[in-house]
Amino acid sequence: MKSFGITAMSTGSGKTSVTAAMLYRINKSVQIKIGPDFIDPMVLSAIGGEKGYNMDRWLQGNKYKKIPEFAGEQNKYAIYEGVMGFYDSGMGRGYSTEAYFERLKIPYILVVDVMKYGESIYYSTIGFRRRSCIGVILNRYTTERHLEMVKRVFDEHGVNVIGSIPYREDLEIRERHLGISIEDGKKKAVEIGKKISEYIDLDFLDEIEDREYARPDQKYEDREDFKVAIGMDDAFNFYYRDALEYLEKRFDVQYFSPLKNEVPDDPDMVYLGGGYPELHGEQLERAYRTKEFLRDFHRSGGKIYSECGGTMFLLENMKNSDNNYEMAGVFKGSSWMEKRPVLSYTELQCESGNPFYSRGSTIRGHEFHYSRIRTEERMAFNVSRGNGINGHDGIISKNALGFYTHVDMMVYGDKIFKNLI
């Protein structure tokens, strides 16, 4: 598999638009997004036909190195999209895009926003062009004369200009946030990817090393007689692809849609991930069969594991800007929406017994939501980094555990299911 990265000097420079164009032009390619971003891999999946992977050292620990193994099973090219600017992370340089590219020996392209610059932009890029930089893509030039002025300096210094993209509103993927329509984002990504691809020269691919990656651990392919039902639809879709593949290889996995009022077939465990339940309040309120199943499954001691949006659905009520909706009522409490987002990496310590994690264990994840939760239920975890629910997380009720944080199930799955099976 051939791998290369897309990065920039700052966020908002056009990394995602260029990644969309690369996915459109390069057959059998997949996005690997650095950082805990559920939205980009979903939106760009409309281009390549499959959801991308996430790579995040905070969430995945040393297992982040396994992501190329998963990606290489079905793809010939991996396109790594960096997080923020090349050296940025908010967690120190060791979590920056530069650190990932250096550790994994990923050659990369620097996307340069030239809109407000002339020749000076070349000198601004010097500190961002390491030895493994393949070249640059000049983004958002305003006129042909402007492009000639900027490009000439790069040419004079022997820097490979892989592409030049003009400034046009129809070529920009706007900054996204929780609450957008994923389907609208997908349509826009395909449209923009197709248009921008015309401005990029792919000759650089011939110079990239083709590496072989080992297949993911064989133990993941030894299926166990354990049924995991996963909620999957437009309301619940925040799952890491490596986690779903891990579960599918180890267990009997079935998917069901709360939005369609579906009921899973005799599961041993139910997994409800995050997503956008607040955009589908009325439809979820009408999901009577799904909600009744979850309450009965809970009362009978069934094991339920939820994260963020899934936990909101398992509470009694959910309020958005339109109304107050009745949810499943597995947990006592309610959720509502605020204007200010909560965004943070998280670290949690287990202080109370539960079916999934042993007391004393530590897990790492991230939280990103506009909602807030109020509950009087017992909590299993103390939050040492992040916000959680008033400094705690992991609502416990019988064999149900509801998080506000997101974790990568591939990382903790072996420990979780060792306790369950």
Domain range summary for the chain, segments of one domain joined by +: 2-207, 218-420
| Dihedral pair phi/psi, residue 340, rounded to 5° | -90, 125
Architecture per CATH, domain 218-420, reads as 3-Layer(aba) Sandwich (3.40)
Q: What number of other Cβ atoms are within 10 A of residue 133's Cβ?
A: 19
Q: What is the CA radius of gyration of the chain?
A: 23
pLDDT the model gives residue 177: 47
Q: Is 308 a catalytic residue?
A: yes
Domains 2-207 and 218-420 share a fold: yes
Please count the CA atoms within 13 angstroms of the CA of 240 that sit on its side-chain side: 31
C-alpha–C-alpha distance, residues 15 and 2, integer Å: 19
Alpha-carbon span 209 to 356, nearest angstrom: 42
Please identify every stretch of the chain with a pLDDT value under 70, giving residue numbers as ranges: 173-181, 216-222
pLDDT in tens, 135-160: 999 999 999 999 999 999 999 999 99
Architecture of domain 2-207: 3-Layer(aba) Sandwich (3.40)
| Predicted pLDDT at 23 | 95
Greatest distance between any 2 Cα atoms in the chain: 73
pLDDT digits (tens, 9 = 90+) for 149-195: 999 999 999 999 999 999 988 777 665 544 445 777 788 889 999 99
Residue 352 — φ and ψ, nearest 5°? -140, 145
- Segment (H or E) for 155: helix 144-156
Q: Which two tokens stand for residue 284?
A: 């979820």
Of the listed 136, 200, 308, 328, which one is catalytic? 308
